[in-house]
Amino acid sequence: MKSTTKYILGALLIGSFSFATIPVAQAQKQPVKEAGKVNKKRGKAMAYNSPFSSNELQYDAEFAVAAASTNMLDVALGKLAQQKAIALEVKQWGKTVADHHTQQEKKLQSIAQHAYIKLPTTMSTDDRDHYDDVDDRKYLGFDKKFLRALKDSHERAIEHYEEASTKLRNSELRAFATSSLPLLREHLKQTEQLYERANERK
């Protein structure tokens, strides 16, 4: 019991120290990178009292961080579609996607807290670039660009989750990845159908 408490406290202290030494502006600018640094140090500390290696714990943390960023991207894209989409069905789909991925993010946050995994507060630079690219489209042509971006994010997520569902060591994270796949596949299917209709409208 003492050893378990010791490694948990040590991991938390490492995380606190890491963020205390990061300049505020830098932490806000690169939250994914900084979360990765904290998780790497925590993984090394926790590996001493875990049946899993630091590399295995690091894989779990990297999956959670990437999943959090993708969720934030899909929520942001969905909200953007509610503002800018021309077709009503695309606006409605944007709301559905945003709602679903907000729920997904809440589940992930709870699991990450139990696993002592630090999640980023904003999306990665690459995901932000995807968002900005869609946001740059001013209404005319927005629907197709939004749906293409959503299709791409879900294809990447499905590939990531499929691999993770067999490699994750944390049982809660593994269950999350496995149970999320049907939703992601359904989102992809619906997005592809909407894109076909948007393409026909031109």
- Higher pLDDT, residue 75 or 37: 75
- Split at pLDDT 50, 70, 90, the class of 1 is very low
What pLDDT score does 139 carry?
61
- Split at pLDDT 50, 70, 90, the class of 30 is confident
Residue 32 in domain: no
Would you say residue 202 has pLDDT above 70? no
Residue 176 in domain: yes
User: What digits encode the pLDDT tens for the residues 41-54?
Assistant: 877 778 777 788 88
What pLDDT score does 137 carry?
67
Number of domains in the chain: 1
Q: What is the phi-psi region of residue 22: left when phi exceeds 0, alpha when psi lies from -120 to 50, beta otherwise?
A: beta
Please state, for a pLDDT cut of 90, what percent of the chain lies above it: 66
- d(Cα 43, Cα 26) in Å, to the nearest integer? 22
Domain span holding position 160 = 52-201
- In Å, how far are 66, 105, 132 from 136, measured between CA atoms? 24, 26, 6
User: What digits encode the pLDDT tens for the residues 74-124?
Assistant: 999 999 999 999 999 999 999 999 999 999 999 999 999 999 999 999 999
Residue 107 in domain: yes
Local structure of 50: helix, strand or coil: coil
CATH of the domain at 150: 1.20.1260.10
Residue 40 in domain: no
Residue 24 in domain: no
Residue 20 in domain: no
State the average pLDDT over residues 136-144: 80
What pLDDT score does 17 carry?
36
What pLDDT score does 200 carry?
86
Residue 23 in domain: no
What pLDDT score does 163 carry?
97
- Higher pLDDT, residue 4 or 83: 83
Residue 16 in domain: no
Residue 55, burial from CB neighbour count under 10 angstroms (0-12, 13-18, 19+) = exposed
